[in-house]
């Protein structure tokens, strides 16, 4: 990939915003498309208000092989030629730009509201609205025997709200369209306007099951802009918390998948063992989801050696209890029959549409921020990237089980080898006029927090991309051809975040 | 089949008794209290935990508490600290405002309501602009450790099958219609339970134009359960007290003031 962006631009390294090449919109478009054609990935693409009723667009590209980032920017008035027709990875980003900034991506093939709210990142004084939040036309397939099924926002279980519109022919799903936005709380605007202490709590609450993931990315951005020291002990404790969070959620997902195919023993046992991981986070931080732990500069709670010994003993017991249950589940012929060949995704779809996390790794698209853009403890302790090949529900379950095992081993190792020193360092004022991208491998996949400061060092733009932002499309793409009664199973095999998408 | 039975034997029975016998970990942040000791200078709190009563004295609003470490510490009215008490729920919004120490705050439903719901309560979850954390703890209530079903309480798939709704989330704009429809679809007599800091006071999102405040207008709430998110023990404690199922500290004949259920069980 031709690195056209600022020199030395990497995960959690801030660069002067002025060093980002500022191009005319035609050249901007070409730069991005050429980079994508050369193998880069569109990491983030968003707008921010400029003077004179203009909007600045910023595209951040990632080269996973070289762990490099690059960026390019342009300024538009109320429209620009969309990237999506030539770069499907941009599809959701451009809908977001239209909604947040009231700028039209011309020729976008699917320009509909994304989170269904009025623009909140328009130039000052602008009243322009491109997308009416109340107007979300659904794709229809006409035919005598075709029928339409609507599910949500309130779903049968205890789950976040979202709307699913199926076009079905008998049992077979022909098309699935997903409409979200029910969980939109105005997170980005809050992060851009409240003080750091409140913003930290908002960051922890972007997705309540990904507290450590988002808190770590938030702090990574702030720490880079403040040039704060990163104590190794703090980085290790953060890594332990991140992997405990990954284990808790993956174990919970395995239990939920088992529950959806009525394999009750695994559902019951995994459900309890998810709680064991949450209880370990509670021992460390006082909260089952790790709230209160990750703070700018390090961690707010230290991990004394007596606690580390106790946590190791509990994890070793958990390891002994997990293995027989996983064997029970994966070796059961009935389970295999239900999980294999359902909800299939191809590697080509992952690459074209930019899917991330275990969803991509289950198609052998082995993206993992801990490996590709290492940070913190992951620069020193490498967790092998888990992968499977078939891209079906079974593969996604298998990747989760592999990751549980590897995260457990990693956590045991780190608990036995905590570096000495501080658990938190001062984190003071942010440098003005800088851009930073902080990436984190959350348990659902790549979390990206992009922050731009203004000339006073205040936050000018805080852009969040949760892995679900990309991966909701994977569910829509995988469902056609499957039975509609397999929807809950497929949905659980992806386990996407409504709140993480909606912000 | 044999393997399944063998695994079950090895896993053992892991249901914990409730009320819990084991204390929660040392760092667990339960009920906040205010030690009116030496006053120090004012500091900004990241939440609306510290409020002022009508008499000008400092009060704690547990419904606005985010249970984060930054809320604890010294201030002009004294020192805020978190105890290990997981019993946080209240029958009224006002009951969540304390002058700094523990009070009896959940009143059991009246006799008519207890006859209907006391041993069999079906609940419908409605999520209105949450982060997902409260729902995760509601789901955890159903696992073998907390085993909500042993108390006759379970979550159902439709409001038509429910005795009440459990609302989580800060009441996002896009959920207005769905929350109201779900409430309307629940047959009377019905209960409303607000779970989590968001549903009570907006939580971390307080002040965002995209969220409302406290419960949806016009819908009376029978039980308020603070937390961010509330621990499953906090949820169990609140629910069981409401149903009059916890023997100690049970209010005598007081009924829930929000949704009175009389012996004629007339709907609202």
User: Mind spelling out the 3-state secondary structure of chain B?
Assistant: CHHHHHHHHHHCCCCCCCCCCCCCCCCCCCCEEEECCCCCCCCCCCCCCEEECCCCCEEEEHHHCCCCHHHCEEECCEEEEECCCCCCCECCCHHHEECCCCCCCCCCCCHHHHHHHCCCEEEEEEECCCCCHHHHHHHHHCCCCCCHHHHCEEECCCHHHCCEEEEECCCEHHHHHHHHHHHHHCCCCCEEEEECHHHHHCHHHCCCCCECCCCCCCCCCCEEECCCCCCHHHHHHHHHHHCCCCCCCCCCCCCCCCCCCCCCCCCC
Contact: A205, B174; criterion CB under 8 Å: no
Contact: B130, A159; criterion CB under 8 Å: no
B73 interface with A at CB cutoff 8 Å: no
Best A136, A154, A274 residue to mutate vs chain B (most B CBs within 10 Å)? A154
- Going A103 to A107 to A108 to A113, the CA torsion angle's sign is positive
Q: Least CB-CB distance to B133: which of A184, A209, A324?
A: A209
Per-residue pLDDT at B254 exceeds 80: no
Q: What is the pLDDT of residue B107?
A: 82
Residue A37's alpha-carbon distances to A92, A349, A352, B12, B153, in angstroms, are 19, 15, 11, 55, 56
Classify residue A393: in a domain, yes or no. yes
Best A286, A442, A497 residue to mutate vs chain B (most B CBs within 10 Å)? A286
A324 interface with B at CB cutoff 8 Å: yes
Q: Are residues A291 and A433 in the same domain?
A: yes
Over residues B13-36, mean pLDDT: 91
Q: Least CB-CB distance to A197: which of B70, B128, B142?
A: B70
Separation between Cα atoms, residue B182 and residue B223, nearest integer Å: 18
Q: What is the pLDDT of residue A231?
A: 97
Question: Which residues of chain A have a CB within 8 Å of the CB of B4?
Answer: 265, 328
Contact: B140, A275; criterion CB under 8 Å: yes
Per-residue pLDDT at A190 exceeds 90: yes
Taking each helix axis as running N to C, give the angle between helix A232-260 and helix A264-285, from 0 to 180 degrees, rounded to the nearest 10.
160
For A358-372, A478-492, B54-68, B228-242, which range has the lowest pLDDT when averaged over its residues? B54-68
Per-residue pLDDT at B100 exceeds 80: no
Q: Least CB-CB distance to B172: which of A183, A287, A497?
A: A183
Question: Which residues of chain A have a CB within 8 Å of the CB of B46?
Answer: 195, 197-198, 200-201
Phi–psi pair at A284, nearest 5 degrees: -75, -40
Classify residue A146: in a domain, yes or no. no
Closest approach of A190 to chain B, Cα-based (Å): 7
Q: What is the pLDDT of residue B101?
A: 64
Question: Which residues of chain A have a CB within 8 Å of the CB of B143?
Answer: 268, 271-272, 274-275
Q: Are residues A129 and A194 in the same domain?
A: no
Q: What is the radius of gyration, based on Cα positions, of chain A?
A: 22
Classify residue A478: in a domain, yes or no. no
Instruction: Name the β-bridge partners of B61.
Output: B97
Phi–psi pair at A412, nearest 5 degrees: -60, -45
Per-residue pLDDT at B39 exceeds 60: yes
Over residues A252-261, mean pLDDT: 97
Boundary residue ending a domain (A113, A134, A155): A134
Per-residue pLDDT at A262 exceeds 70: yes
Question: Which residues of chain B have a CB within 8 Å of the CB of A206?
Answer: 131
DSSP letter, residue A18: G
Q: Are residues A206 and A126 in the same domain?
A: no
Q: What is the pLDDT of residue B38?
A: 76
- Going A120 to A122 to A127 to A129, the CA torsion angle's sign is negative
For the record, the structure tokens of A412 come out as 């045991």
Reading across the β-sheet that carries B32-35, which strands appear in turn? B32-35, B78-82, B73-75
Best A116, A136, A153, A158 residue to mutate vs chain B (most B CBs within 10 Å)? A158
Question: Which residues of chain B have a CB within 8 Å of the CB of A317?
Answer: none
DSSP letter, residue A50: -
Q: Least CB-CB distance to A265: which of B8, B143, B170?
A: B8
How many domains would you assign to chain A?
2
Closest approach of B210 to chain A, Cα-based (Å): 5
Which residue of chain A comes nearest to B231, CA vs CA? A288
Tens digit of pLDDT for each residue in A273-324?
A: 999 999 999 999 999 999 999 999 999 999 999 999 999 999 999 999 999 9
Q: What is the pLDDT of residue B44?
A: 86
Contact: B126, A154; criterion CB under 8 Å: yes
C-beta atoms surrounding A365 within 10 Å: 20
Question: Which residues of chain A have a CB within 8 Å of the CB of B127?
Answer: 154, 158-161, 182-183
Separation between Cα atoms, residue A124 and residue A109, nearest integer Å: 29
Classify residue A333: in a domain, yes or no. yes
A499 interface with B at CB cutoff 8 Å: yes
Q: Are strands B191-195 and B164-168 parallel, antiparallel or unpaired?
A: parallel
Classify residue A139: in a domain, yes or no. no
B210 interface with A at CB cutoff 8 Å: yes
Contact: B7, A291; criterion CB under 8 Å: no
Boundary residue ending a domain (A115, A134, A153): A134
Contact: B66, A324; criterion CB under 8 Å: no
B193 interface with A at CB cutoff 8 Å: no
Per-residue pLDDT at B256 exceeds 50: no
Task: Kindly report the CATH number assigned to the domain that includes residue A117.
Answer: 3.30.460
For the record, the structure tokens of A488 come out as 């809950």
Contact: A286, B44; criterion CB under 8 Å: no
Question: Which residues of chain A have a CB within 8 Å of the CB of B138?
Answer: 158
Which residue of chain A comes nearest to B175, CA vs CA? A182
Report the percentage of chain A scoring pLDDT > 90: 98
Q: What is the pLDDT of residue B263?
A: 34
Question: Which residues of chain B have a CB within 8 Å of the CB of A203?
Answer: none
Classify residue A406: in a domain, yes or no. yes
Which residue of chain B comes nearest to A201, CA vs CA? B204
Contact: A154, B178; criterion CB under 8 Å: yes
Contact: A283, B27; criterion CB under 8 Å: yes
Total-model pTM: 0.95
For A360-364, B93-97, B216-220, which range has the lowest pLDDT when averaged over its residues? B216-220
C-beta atoms surrounding A380 within 10 Å: 13
Q: What is the pLDDT of residue B105?
A: 73
For A90-99, B32-41, B112-121, B199-208, which range has the lowest pLDDT when averaged over its residues? B32-41
Classify residue A78: in a domain, yes or no. yes
Tens digit of pLDDT for each residue in A94-138?
A: 999 999 999 999 999 999 999 999 999 999 989 999 999 999 999
B51 with B60: CB under 8 angstroms?
Answer: yes
Q: Tell me the residue range of the domain where A311 lies.
A: 187-463
Mean per-residue pLDDT of chain A: 96
Classify residue A340: in a domain, yes or no. yes
Task: Kindly report the CATH number assigned to the domain that includes residue A267.
Answer: 1.10.645.10
B178 interface with A at CB cutoff 8 Å: yes
Q: Are residues A224 and A287 in the same domain?
A: yes
For the record, the structure tokens of B178 come out as 């769905």
C-beta atoms surrounding B78 within 10 Å: 18
Per-residue pLDDT at A196 exceeds 60: yes
Per-residue pLDDT at B258 exceeds 70: no
Contact: A181, B10; criterion CB under 8 Å: no
B132 interface with A at CB cutoff 8 Å: yes
B209 interface with A at CB cutoff 8 Å: yes
Q: In the block, which residue shows the tokens 């709704």?
A: B165
Q: Are residues A126 and A222 in the same domain?
A: no
A vs B: CB pairs below 8 A: 182
Per-residue pLDDT at A427 exceeds 90: yes
Q: Least CB-CB distance to B145: which of A202, A272, A284?
A: A272
Tens digit of pLDDT for each residue in B106-157?
A: 888 888 898 999 999 999 999 999 999 999 999 999 999 999 999 999 999 9
B221 with B179: CB under 8 angstroms?
Answer: no
Q: In the block, which residue shows the tokens 């707008």?
A: A47
So what's the architecture of B111-242 in CATH? 3-Layer(aba) Sandwich (3.40)
Phi–psi pair at B63, nearest 5 degrees: -70, -15
Closest approach of B70 to chain A, Cα-based (Å): 8
Higher pLDDT, A149 or B261: A149
Question: Which residues of chain A have a CB within 8 Å of the CB of B132?
Answer: 160, 183, 207-209, 497-499
Surface-to-core class of residue A436, CB atoms within 10 Å of its CB (0-12 exposed, 13-18 middle, 19+ buried) = buried
Question: Which residues of chain A have a CB within 8 Å of the CB of B135?
Answer: 158-160, 208
Q: What is the DSSP string of A374-414?
A: --GGGGTSPPPPP--SS-SHHHHHHHHHHHHHHHHHHHHHH
Closest approach of A104 to chain B, Cα-based (Å): 23
Tens digit of pLDDT for each residue in B19-30?
A: 887 889 999 999
Q: Least CB-CB distance to B133: which of A156, A271, A289?
A: A289
Mean per-residue pLDDT of chain B: 86
Q: Least CB-CB distance to A275: which of B11, B125, B143?
A: B143
pLDDT confidence tier of residue A413, bands split at 50, 70 and 90? very high
Tens digit of pLDDT for each residue in A138-188?
A: 999 999 999 999 999 999 999 999 999 999 999 999 999 999 999 999 999
Over residues B208-219, mean pLDDT: 73
Phi–psi pair at A149, nearest 5 degrees: -120, 130
C-beta atoms surrounding B161 within 10 Å: 13
Q: Who contacts B55 (Cβ-Cβ below 8 Å, separation ≥6)? A: none
Question: Which residues of chain B have a CB within 8 Å of the CB of A209?
Answer: 132-133, 136
Q: Least CB-CB distance to B131: which of A208, A272, A321?
A: A208
Spacing of C-alpha A167 from chain mean position: 28
Closest C-alpha to A438, from A283, A250, A228, A237: A228
Phi–psi pair at B81, nearest 5 degrees: -140, 155
């Amino acid at each position: 990939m031709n690195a056209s962006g600022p020199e030395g631009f990497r995960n959690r390294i801030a660069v002067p915003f002025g060093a980002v090449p500022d191009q005319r919109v035609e050249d901007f478009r070409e730069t991005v498309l050429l980079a994508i054609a050369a193998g880069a990935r569109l990491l983030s693409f968003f707008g921010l208000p400029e003077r004179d009723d203009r909007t600045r667009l910023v595209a951040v590209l990632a080269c996973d092989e070289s762990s490099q980032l690059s960026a390019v920017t342009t300024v538009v008035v109320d429209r620009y030629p969309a990237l999506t027709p030539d770069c499907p990875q941009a599809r959701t980003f451009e809908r977001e730009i239209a909604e947040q900034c009231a700028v039209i991506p011309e020729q976008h093939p699917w320009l509909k509201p994304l989170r269904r709210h009025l623009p909140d990142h328009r130039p000052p004084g602008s009243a322009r609205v491109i997308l009416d939040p109340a107007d979300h036309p659904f794709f229809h397939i006409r035919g005598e025997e075709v029928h339409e099924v609507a599910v949500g926002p309130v779903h049968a279980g205890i789950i976040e709200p979202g709307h699913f519109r199926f076009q079905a022919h008998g049992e077979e799903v022909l098309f699935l369209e997903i409409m979200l936005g029910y969980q939109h709380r105005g997170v980005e605007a809050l992060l851009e306007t409240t003080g750091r202490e409140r913003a930290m709590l908002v960051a922890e609450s972007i997705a309540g099951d990904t507290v450590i993931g988002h808190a770590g990315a938030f702090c990574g951005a702030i720490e880079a802009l403040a040039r704060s020291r990163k104590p190794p002990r703090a980085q290790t404790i953060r890594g332990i918390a991140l992997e405990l969070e990954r284990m808790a959620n993956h174990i919970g997902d395995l239990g939920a998948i088992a529950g959806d195919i009525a394999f009750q023993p695994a559902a019951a046992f995994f459900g309890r063992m998810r709680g064991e991981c949450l209880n370990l986070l509670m021992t460390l931080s006082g909260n089952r989801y790790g709230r209160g732990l990750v703070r700018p500069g390090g961690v707010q709670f230290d991990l004394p050696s007596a606690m580390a010994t106790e946590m190791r003993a509990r994890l070793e017991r958990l390891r002994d209890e997990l293995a027989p249950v996983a064997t029970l589940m994966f070796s059961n012929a009935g389970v295999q029959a239900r999980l294999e060949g359902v909800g299939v995704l191809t590697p080509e779809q992952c690459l074209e549409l930019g899917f991330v996390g275990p969803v991509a790794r289950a198609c052998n698209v082995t993206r993992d921020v801990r490996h590709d853009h290492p940070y913190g403890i992951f620069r020193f302790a490498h967790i092998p990237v888990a992968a499977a090949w078939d891209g079906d529900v079974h593969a996604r379950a298998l990747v989760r089980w592999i990751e549980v095992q590897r995260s457990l081993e990693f956590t045991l190792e780190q608990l036995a080898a905590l570096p000495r020193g501080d658990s938190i360092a001062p984190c003071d004022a942010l440098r003005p006029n800088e851009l930073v991208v902080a990436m984190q491998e959350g348990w659902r996949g790549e979390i990206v927090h992009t922050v731009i400061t203004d000339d006073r060092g205040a936050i000018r733009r805080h852009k969040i991309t949760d892995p679900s932002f990309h991966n909701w499309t994977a569910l829509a793409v995988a469902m056609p051809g499957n039975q509609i009664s397999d929807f809950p199973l497929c949905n659980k095999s992806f386990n996407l975040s409504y709140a993480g998408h909606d912000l | 089949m044999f393997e399944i039975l063998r695994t079950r034997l090895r896993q053992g029975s892991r249901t914990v008794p409730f009320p819990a016998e084991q204390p929660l970990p040392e760092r667990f942040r339960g009920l906040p209290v205010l030690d009116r000791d030496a006053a120090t200078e004012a500091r900004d709190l990241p939440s609306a935990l510290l409020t002022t009563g009508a008499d000008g004295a400092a009060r704690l609003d547990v419904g606005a508490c985010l249970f984060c470490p930054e809320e604890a510490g010294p201030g002009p009215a004294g020192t805020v600290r978190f105890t290990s008490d997981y019993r946080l729920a209240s029958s009224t919004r006002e009951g969540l405002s304390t002058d700094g120490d523990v009070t009896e705050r959940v009143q059991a439903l009246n006799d008519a309501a207890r006859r209907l719901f006391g041993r069999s309560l079906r609940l419908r979850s409605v999520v209105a602009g949450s982060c997902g954390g409260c729902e995760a703890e509601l789901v955890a209530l159903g696992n073998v450790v907390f085993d909500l079903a042993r108390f006759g309480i379970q979550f159902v798939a439709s409001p038509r099958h429910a005795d009440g709704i459990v609302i989580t989330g800060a009441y996002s704009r896009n959920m207005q219609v769905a929350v109201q429809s779900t409430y309307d679809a629940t047959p009377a007599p019905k209960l409303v339970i607000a779970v989590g800091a968001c549903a009570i006071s907006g939580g971390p999102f307080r002040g965002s134009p995209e969220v409302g405040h406290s419960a949806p207008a016009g819908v009376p709430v029978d039980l308020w359960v603070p937390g961010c998110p509330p621990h499953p023990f906090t949820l169990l404690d609140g629910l069981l007290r409401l149903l009059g199922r916890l023997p100690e500290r049970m209010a005598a004949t007081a009924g829930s003031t929000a949704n009175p259920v009389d012996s004629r069980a007339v709907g609202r």
